[in-house]
Amino acid sequence: METAFLVGTLLSAIMLVVFLIMRAHIQAFVSLVIVCFYVGFVTGMPLNGICKSIEAGMGSTLGFLATVLGFGSILGKMLETSGGAERLARTLIARFGQKRANWAMMVVGLITGIPVFFQVGFVLLIPLVISVARATGLSIVRIGVPIGISLQVVHCMLPPHPAAMAITATLGADVGEVILLGLVVCTICAAVGGPIWTRFVSKGIHSDLDTLREGEKPVPDSELPNFGITLFTILLPMLIMVSKTIFALSPWKDSPVGV
C-alpha cells in the first residue's frame, strides 16, 4: 500500500477525531473507536481483523501505561499536598532573582509537569502564579504563560506522560534516549514560547492583582518540604529511565550481577 495513501488516511483520521469530539460532541473514547473502524475499512481490513486489532492495541497500550499512570498520580498528589510546588518556586526565584522570576517559573513548570497532567499542574500552580506576580511586580502574563507553556510541552513530548510513552513503545525507541532528547526540545520550546515571547506581548496588558486571593497568607518556609527531597521525588521516574539507558551504554552491561 502506497505511503502517500497511508499518510492521507492518517491525516483524515486525525481530522475525523477532532470533528467527532469538538463538533459532534461525541465522547472521546467512542470517537477513537469509530475512527479505528474508519481506518480499518479504508485500508481494506476485514471486520474481524479490525476488532482484533483494536483489542490487541488497546490491551498492550493500557498494560504498558497502567503502572506509569498509577505511580505518576501518586507523585502528583504528593506534590500537591506537600507544598512542593511552592518550595520549588521560592528556591528557584531566590536563585534567579525577582527580575528573572519568569525564567524561574518556566523551570518550575518544566519540573512540576513531569509527574502531573497539564490540567492538574495548571490548577495546582495558578495560585502560585498570582502570588509570585504580586511579590515581584511582573505582569501576570509574564509569570503565567511560561508555566502554562512548560506544562504543555512536557505533557506532550516527554515520558512518562501517556502519549509520549505510548509513541515511544509503538516505535520501539529507548525511553531514556527519548527523555534526554525531549528535555532539550522541551526546554527550547518553553523558553521561546514562554519568557521570550511574553517579553513582547505582555506590554500594555494589566491586571488588578489586589482583587485576587485577598486575605490569604503565604505558607511559612518551615512548613514546606526540603527543596532537594522535593526535586528528587519529582525526578525519580526520569532518573530511573535514564539510568537504564546509561547502563545499556556501559562496558559492563552484559556482566553477571556480583561479578
| Residue at 22 is within a domain | no
| Residue at 230 is within a domain | yes
Give long-range contacts, CB 8 A cutoff, 24+ apart: 206-211: 206/139, 207/139, 207/140, 207/141, 209/130, 209/133, 209/134, 209/140
| Cβ within 8 Å of residue 189, ≥6 positions away | 149, 153, 157
| Residue at 16 is within a domain | no
Residues 179-234 have pLDDT tens digits of 888 889 999 999 999 889 888 877 766 665 544 445 556 666 677 777 777 777 77
| Residue at 23 is within a domain | no
Residues 131-143 have pLDDT tens digits of 777 777 777 888 8
84 neighbors 233 (Cβ within 8 angstroms): yes
| Residue at 45 is within a domain | no
What mean pLDDT, rounded, does the chain reach? 77
pLDDT at position 63: 58
| Residue at 33 is within a domain | no
Give the Cα separation of 82 and 225 in Å (integer). Answer: 7
121 neighbors 109 (Cβ within 8 angstroms): yes
Can you read off the three cell numbers belonging to residue 46?
476485514
- Name residue, grid cell 474481524: 48
- Name residue, grid cell 546509561: 246
Q: Which domain holds residue 241?
A: 70-249
| Residue at 257 is within a domain | no
Mean pLDDT of 52-78: 66
DSSP 217-258: PPPPGGGSPPHHHHHHHHHHHHHHHHHHHHHHHSTTTTSPTT
Rounded alpha-carbon distances, angstroms, from residue 98 to 65, 211, 227:
39, 22, 18
pLDDT band, residue 69 (cuts 50/70/90) = low
Give the Cα separation of 223 and 237 in Å (integer). Answer: 25
pLDDT at position 257: 45
**Between 47 and 195, where is the model more confident?**
195
Give the Cα separation of 133 and 202 in Å (integer). Answer: 13
What is the tally of structural domains in the chain? 1
Q: Taking the model in full, what pTM does it have?
A: 0.62
Cα Rg, the chain, nearest whole Å: 22
pLDDT at position 187: 92
Rounded alpha-carbon distances, angstroms, from residue 10 to 30, 31, 53:
18, 15, 16
| Residue at 49 is within a domain | no
User: Following CA atoms 119, 123, 124, 128 in sequence, which dihedral angle do they give, to the nearest 10 degrees?
Assistant: 130
pLDDT at position 95: 82
Give long-range contacts, CB 8 A cutoff, 24+ apart: 117-125: 117/76, 117/155, 117/161, 118/151, 118/152, 118/155, 120/76, 120/80, 121/76, 121/151, 121/155, 122/147, 122/148, 122/151, 124/79, 124/80, 124/85, 125/85, 125/151
